[in-house]
Amino acid sequence: MVLSRTTEVALSALLGAFRETGLEDPHAVFGAGTVHVPPSLADQTDEEARGELSRLGLLRRGRVSDELEDACHVLARADSEYVARVDNRGNQYSALVAQRGHAVVTAVCAGQRVWLKAEEKRRSPAAVLVANLPTRRSASLPTFSLPQHEFHGEDSDFPADRSRAARTADAMLRQPASGFGEITVGVGTGRRQRPADGVLTYRDLAEGRVAFEVSGPASNRYITVMPGDNYLLARKVAALRESIDG
């Protein structure tokens, strides 16, 4: 199976595979790198895309292989999706982990290139997503939480007199970061998608990766600051997915 290992493919070739399998609305992570192709060059572009798929072993008898077709359906019609938008020292990419039934497919998109992989069942989608973040050591700090209104100083006539937790969180957000990212989780696709209410982000600081979570109902939001440890991040991502089901 070609996609049992990470396979690099041109974005144009993958989008062509989506079209050939009747999926005209691929996930938004593939939209940032799309390029308008004039009608006069469409046939040539399609031929080049099919040539690349053929070289990769993703065409069978002149059509998209069953393996790639299945992967396209998982990516475009996921039951659950996990997305990370990453900036790593100025290099930007998006990672999509899509789950449909028992199938899980990862697509990492950077510019005009995509890295595809059909994942093994032994790892959770949340763990797979975190594994696709840039490798960084975790910061050593205790986990702490505070009300969002306290962070903004909304409950005081003297915002400078905020709590120690609020000042600490603010200082971390103001530090220079070599990288940062945002993680979102949703159920369903397109207009039918139900996103998780929580927001999970991270920043790669001099002392290591620090994660920030905003959670709770709109009237009572909390900010949690914690080490950016992979295991802890995966647990938080999984919790976002569980929160959608209530």
The 10s digit of each residue's pLDDT in 18-69 is 988 999 888 889 975 454 444 544 455 567 778 899 999 999 988 999 999 9
Mean pLDDT of the chain: 89
pLDDT, average across residues 112-130: 95
Q: What whole-number distance in Å separates Cα of residue 37 and Cα of residue 41?
A: 6
* Range 177-204 average pLDDT: 91
Residue 87 vs residue 39, higher pLDDT: 87
3-state helix, strand and coil shares in percent for the chain, rounded to the nearest 5: 35, 30, 30
Token representation of residue 44: 């040539």
Sequence-separated (6 or more) residues with CB below 8 Å from residue 33:
11, 109, 110, 111, 112
pLDDT at position 42, please? 47
Q: Residue 97 pLDDT > 90, yes or no?
A: yes
Distance CA 100, CA 80 (A): 7
With pLDDT > 70 as the criterion, what percentage of the chain qualifies? 89
Say what the pLDDT of residue 150 is. Answer: 84
Least confident of 102-111, 164-173, 188-197: 188-197
| Rounded Cα distance, 62 and 40, in Å | 23
Please report which confidence band the pLDDT of residue 151 belongs to, taking 50, 70 and 90 as the band edges.
confident
The closest of 123, 94, 130 to 202, measured between CA atoms, is: 130
Q: Which residues, including other chains, have CB under 8 Å from residue 48's CB and lie 6 or more apart?
A: 12, 13
Tell me which residue of 68, 70, 35, 32 sits closest to 50, measured CA to CA: 68
Left, alpha or beta for 191 (phi > 0: left; psi -120 to 50: alpha)?
Answer: alpha
Amino acid at 181: G
Give the integer Cα–Cα distance in Å for 222 and 94: 26
Identity at 242, one-letter amino acid code? E
With contact defined as beta carbons under 8 Å apart, do 134 and 88 qualify? yes
SS3 215: strand
